[in-house]
Structure 1
Amino acid sequence: LVTEWGAIGYWEMETTDWGVPFEATSSEKADVFLRAYREVLQPLEGQLLGSYVFFWGQKQERTPTWFGMLTEDGKETEVVDVMHYVWTGQWPDNRAPRVERLLLDGKGDRTSVVLSAGQQYEAVFDVIDPEGGPLVYRWELKAESAATSGGGDYEEPIASLEGYLAGPAAARTLLTAPPPGKYRLFAFVEDDQQHVAHANLPFLVVDDVEH
């Protein structure tokens, strides 16, 4: 019996130069789930009593997206597609959008992004919809979590910061860097079947970036 399997924890991920973890995109998490099934669970068929996948729901733990297979408003991510395949042997007819990349100031892919307060920077969210359907984008800016708890202890949700994002409903947006501190930029995209893809990038704001 496998009592829990799912996303890679924040304590196992690479961190920025200032020590906060990078979070996998919803598509990277889906790939992790599928690989875990194929490489660990499927070979145990006939010996395994069952397993518990974590987590069918949504919770705040360092971020609002780290462990949940659903979003805060109950919409399904790509991980649900994987579990549909695991449980039925068939992929769903309509699949969630797939994340290609999230860039801030042209940087991404586990890069420590440092910005100057008050300056504007472009953010880009590249996503593919398997069915080529219409997509709706949403951006959110939050302060980085200061939580130090572990073991799934309750964490207070972090409010989104308003007024720093221009064009928050497009694939590209302009971020005006807030006052100095640690932040995280979230990008969401939803298809016309209430499937969601998401990604986020932590970044640091200083008074002036030295070049």
Structure 2
Amino acid sequence: MIALFFIGCTAPKDPGSRKVQVKKIEGHYQLYKDGKPYHIKGAAGLSHFKTLKEMGGNTIRVWDTTRLAVILDSAKANQLSVVVGLPIFNSDYKSFYNDPAKVALQHQAFKAVVNKYKQHPSLLMWCLGNELDFPFKPSYNSFYKAFNDLTEMIHEDDPDHPITTTVLNFNKKYIFNLSVRCDIDLISFNTFGRITYLRDELKSFSWFWDGPFMVTEWGIDGPWEGTAQTAWAAYLEQASNQKAELYQERYKKSMPTENPGFLGSFVFFWGNKQEGTQTWFSIFDEQNGKSQAVDAMKYIWTGKHLDYTFPQIKNMLLNDQEAKDNILLSAGQHFSAEVFLLNKDKIKLVKWELYPEDWYKKNNLHSDKKLQPLLKQIKTAQFLENNFVAPITEGPYRIFATVYDDNGNFSTSNIPFYVVTDK
């Protein structure tokens, strides 16, 4: 068996006295914080720390050092730990890594961050980069040198906290290169649709690597993963209550919790963000309302559901057609949209919004810029059907219906359509 990680091997401090460390005990890896076993029940996001704690979570993961002091202090106030991201350039930025002056500035900047925050009680570990590539070719040697100089610095300056990095899905090539060319304490995987393969992938490669790991991003399928789409390539999105069921099912069936190296996972995304649409990954809305995914995570973390329910969207139609029906509208055409519920009890209002598609641009799916709706209407509960006028500019659009109950909890659904003109 080839050993991959030598935890803190470059650090002079006695391993037994470290604040956070990973130990292998009787063939299983265990994370310890302040001398006590610590199993990560985490979320990837930047907000809603109090709710995370109330739902049974204990750890937040952030991608960079923006407002880090505030995040760490907020985590402390809510008895949470933080995995802090150090956002280094990917290996394919060769012009950067081949410039010693730029690399030195990066090293200096992160050294300052590590030494400033290493004593904070909420710091759990450092994550060096996000979804980096770890190629074979010698032309990437300057990247590996910069990466290893950073891990050596962190191990020396802060032996109290482990180092990880994340890779996208399970990549044998990257794991091999991490094992023979780098010195980190554990590896982390970001995986969405392919989480269904993770258990078998870990088992099939255990002859070479069976080290400690986290799943630092997981959840519903990303829109890039073969998600069903219209004829003009608009991705079809599930209603948020249907996503909640998928979170729960996916964790139960696919998360490799029984693997000896599993240290915990982070659901994505604990907050509200634009990616594909403003609702695709968002577990909360912009007004701090909760979707049913919050309840799903409470059940995953504690075995108990919340004592209140969420609106249940059964279906949504536009002119009596479903999202999959490739709906075409003429510019200026009147049309109706209707949302159908399984339960109408305690429904308070419906928010209707019309947006241009964001992905249908050069920035593709990766823009995080919030869009402004072309139309926004707040209707009372009886307005489960509403009438609209199609935009006059040709192109792809999407109509959203968000249903709220008396507690401010919501479920949301949307339908894409395409406007054609006679010009």
TM band (smaller chain): 0.7 to 0.9
The structure with the largest helix share of the pair is 2
Tell me the residue number matched to 2:224: 11
Instruction: Note if contact 1:62-1:147 (Cα within 8 Å) is conserved in structure 2.
Output: no
Cα distance in 2 for residues equivalent to 1:177 and 1:153: 26
State the 1:127 CA deviation.
Answer: 2.0
State the 1:87 CA deviation.
Answer: 1.1
State the 1:123 CA deviation.
Answer: 0.7
Determine helix, strand or coil for the equivalent of 1:57: coil
State the 1:77 CA deviation.
Answer: 0.4
State the 1:122 CA deviation.
Answer: 1.5
Tell me the residue number matched to 1:181: 395
- For residue 351 of structure 2, what is the amino acid of its counterpart? R
* Alignment pair present for 1:20 and 2:254: no
1:143-188 per-position Cα deviation (integer Å, ceiling 9, x unaligned) = 11134447x855221111138x7x8541000121111221110100
- For residue 29 of structure 1, what is the amino acid of its counterpart? K
1:87-138 per-position Cα deviation (integer Å, ceiling 9, x unaligned) = 11111110211110010011115221111222211210112348x2233111
Determine helix, strand or coil for the equivalent of 1:139: strand
Cα distance in 2 for residues equivalent to 1:186 and 1:118: 18
Instruction: Note if contact 1:102-1:108 (Cα within 8 Å) is conserved in structure 2.
Output: yes
1:78 to 292, 295, 306: 292
Tell me the residue number matched to 1:141: 354
Larger Rg: 2
Which 4+ stretches in 1 moved above 3 angstroms? 146-150
2:320 to 103, 106, 121: 106
Cα distance in 1 for residues equivalent to 2:323 and 2:375: 26
1:24-173 → structure 2 map (5 Å cutoff) = 24-41=238-255, 44-45=257-258, 47=260, 48-129=262-343, 132-145=345-358, 146-149=360-363, 153-162=366-375, 168-169=379-380, 170-173=383-386
Determine helix, strand or coil for the equivalent of 2:325: coil
Q: What number of residue pairs does the alignment pair up?
A: 203
Cα distance in 1 for residues equivalent to 2:268 and 2:286: 16
Which sits farther off after the overlay, 140-149 or 116-125? 140-149
Cα distance in 1 for residues equivalent to 2:323 and 2:354: 19
Determine helix, strand or coil for the equivalent of 1:7: coil
1:55-112 per-position Cα deviation (integer Å, ceiling 9, x unaligned) = 1001111211111111111110011110111111111110211110010011115221
Cα distance in 2 for residues equivalent to 1:171 and 1:138: 10
Unaligned runs of 5+ in 1: none
Instruction: Note if contact 2:311-2:347 (Cα within 8 Å) is conserved in structure 1.
Output: no
Cα distance in 1 for residues equivalent to 2:391 and 2:366: 29
Instruction: Note if contact 2:240-2:292 (Cα within 8 Å) is conserved in structure 1.
Output: yes
Determine helix, strand or coil for the equivalent of 2:299: helix
Instruction: Note if contact 2:329-2:417 (Cα within 8 Å) is conserved in structure 1.
Output: yes
Determine helix, strand or coil for the equivalent of 1:37: helix
TM-score by length of 1: 0.87
> Over the residues paired in the alignment, what is the CA RMSD in angstroms?
2.2
Cα distance in 2 for residues equivalent to 1:82 and 1:17: 33
Unaligned runs of 5+ in 2: 1-213
Cα distance in 1 for residues equivalent to 2:327 and 2:348: 27
